[in-house]
Amino acid sequence: MKVKIIAGKDKNKDGEVIEIERKFNRAKVKGINMVKKHVKTTKEKKGGIISKENFIHLSNLKNIETNKKSEAKK
Q: Are 48 and 14 in contact (CB under 8 A)?
A: no
Domain 2-65: which CATH class? mainly beta
* pTM for this prediction: 0.75
- Interval 33-63: pLDDT, tens: 999 999 999 999 899 999 999 999 999 999 9
Q: Return the domain boundaries, the chain.
A: 2-65
**pLDDT of amino acid 71:** 58
Bridge partners, residue 34, by sequence: 53
